[in-house]
Amino acid sequence: MQAYTLSMLIKASLFTAIPMLILPAAATEKTISELVDAVNGTPDSISRDAGKKVKLRNHANGFCTSGVFKPNPQVTETLAIPFFTQSNIDVLARFSLGGTNPQSSDKTAGRFMSLKLNGDTESLHFVTSNAEVFFASNLDDFFTFQTKVKQGNEGKQWLIDNKPDAKAFFEYIKKLPPTSSYADNRYFGVNSFMFTSNNGETVAGRWIFEPVNGVIAASAAEFAQKPDHFLQQELTDRIATAPATWDLYVQLADKDDKVNDPTIVWPASRQRQLIGQVIINGQHDDAKATLECDKGIFNPLQLPKGISASADPILNARSAAYIESFIRRN
């Protein structure tokens, strides 16, 4: 981790307009560069150089669009977050699939949604997926998972046999029904954040995006008739007539919940606070920020006053890893 130099962070912050990042303590011997190599499948200088030439990145199959966020007026009655006192906040969204192949088939169950809420003086970013559980609780296991999955079925079986968190993740994904639209999914922020309440106390919470029209799974027959690439066109056509809309909640932790472990799903009975509504309508799709959204990163540690990062090591490594990946492809 220490190998990631301060000068690179300063350089990155200049063109991503994000604050300086606090890297996690030395909980792993792996550097940020090694973690990015594990995700990209570039374990040596030859593959790394080849990856730079093709601008290799995770979530390569994706696209950007836009909309608006409308905060719940009642949220500030319980949470001391001035950001949510605004009436309308512009949204930049990127929907994607996992993996480094920009031509990967849309016929998979995994869906990802990243958002930038750009307010008057502050911003709030989200990095979410339709999986409620993560596959690793620490950076060593993250590195091992990414390395082993690149080995195909043999590596996956090794993970199932040796890593309980990875096994639980594979079992979850296996049961996850595919959908015919990005709009038909719930999205989860598996990492925890700390929220300041109006009484000055701090409570841990996780983001959950609930589609207003509910989760709609595609039947096997319906999915079989789809072409390999349909998700971008489907969402573009959809929002041309009616927006795709999600209610944003914070699921609040109980005193006994493990806050810093994204492999643990909190019980559904936990209290939820309605934060507002995300409305994806394409209203700024012709704007430069949308057209050039891949020239920046979605930084989950870009937070307004009243929200801070938990001690989750996965969360605290994300920004530095995203910046490292960004630098490599630019």
**Answer CATH for 6-328 from 3.50.50.60, 2.40.50.220, 2.40.180.10, 1.10.10.10:** 2.40.180.10
- Helices marked H in the chain — which ranges? 6-16, 32-40, 45-53, 139-149, 153-162, 164-175, 220-224, 231-239, 288-291, 313-328
Angle between helices 164-175 and 153-162 (to 10 degrees): 120
How many residues are present in the chain? 330
Q: Judge contact between 280 and 95, C-beta under 8 A.
A: no
Tell me the per-residue pLDDT of 36-85, one tens digit each, with 9 for 90 and over.
Answer: 999 999 999 999 999 999 999 999 999 999 999 999 999 999 999 999 99
Taking 70 as the threshold, does the pLDDT of residue 183 lie above it? yes
Stated as kind and residue range, the H or E segment containing 210 is strand 202-211
Give the span between the Cα atoms of 262 and 128, in whole angstroms: 12
Q: Judge contact between 37 and 58, C-beta under 8 A.
A: no
Confidence of residue 30 (pLDDT cuts 50, 70, 90): confident
Taking 90 as the threshold, does the pLDDT of residue 314 lie above it? yes
Taking 60 as the threshold, does the pLDDT of residue 152 lie above it? yes
Stated as kind and residue range, the H or E segment containing 247 is strand 244-252
Q: What is the mean pLDDT of residues 296-303?
A: 96
Taking 90 as the threshold, does the pLDDT of residue 307 lie above it? yes
pTM: 0.91
Give the span between the Cα atoms of 71 and 93, in whole angstroms: 17
Taking 90 as the threshold, does the pLDDT of residue 191 lie above it? yes
What average pLDDT is seen over the chain?
Answer: 91
Return the minimum-mean-pLDDT range out of 18-22, 113-117, 128-132, 214-218: 18-22
Confidence of residue 178 (pLDDT cuts 50, 70, 90): confident
Give the span between the Cα atoms of 139 and 318, in whole angstroms: 10
Structure-token match 């709609």, residue found: 216
Dihedral angle over CA of 115, 234, 39, 140, nearest 10: 60
Give the span between the Cα atoms of 73 and 175, in whole angstroms: 37
Tell me the per-residue pLDDT of 233-292, one tens digit each, with 9 for 90 and over.
Answer: 999 999 999 999 999 999 999 999 999 999 999 999 999 999 999 999 999 999 999 999
Per-residue confidence (pLDDT) for residue 27, from 0 to 100: 43
The two structure tokens encoding residue 175: 């049961």
Per-residue confidence (pLDDT) for residue 205, from 0 to 100: 98
Per-residue confidence (pLDDT) for residue 23, from 0 to 100: 45
Give the span between the Cα atoms of 324 and 115, in whole angstroms: 20
